[in-house]
Structure 1
């Protein structure tokens, strides 16, 4: 699992302030590009209050 703080630091070089939705918007874009259903995601799982879990076996073949 990767926290929003970790992802923000890696992608933007700043600390996550708890309000910025940039990472969430990028996850939405990634899900669309990878055909991961946002209502029932299999590849990128949102862990509420923690961050995102990337599941290697969750991608469609």
Structure 2
């Protein structure tokens, strides 16, 4: 999927998405240790929580 999006294959060391999510959480005031807006789904990615936006 990363190759399709950015034109490069994943080397296991690219943390650009993690950094982007971290910055987004900071701007939204989402606590990284107990997130309520952006949930981390292990081995899958990230998920916006509907309950965090009400």
TM above 0.5, yes or no, is yes
Instruction: Output the TM-score relative to the length of structure 2.
Output: 0.76
Runs of 4+ aligned structure 1 residues displaced above 2 Å come to 13-16
The residue number in structure 2 matching 1:44 is: 38
Structure 1 unaligned blocks of 5 or more: none
Aligned residues: 52
Structure 2 unaligned blocks of 5 or more: none
Relative contact order, CA 8 A, sep 6+: which one is greater? 1
Instruction: Output the TM-score relative to the length of structure 1.
Output: 0.68
The residue number in structure 2 matching 1:19 is: 13
Provide the aligned C-alpha RMSD in A: 2.2
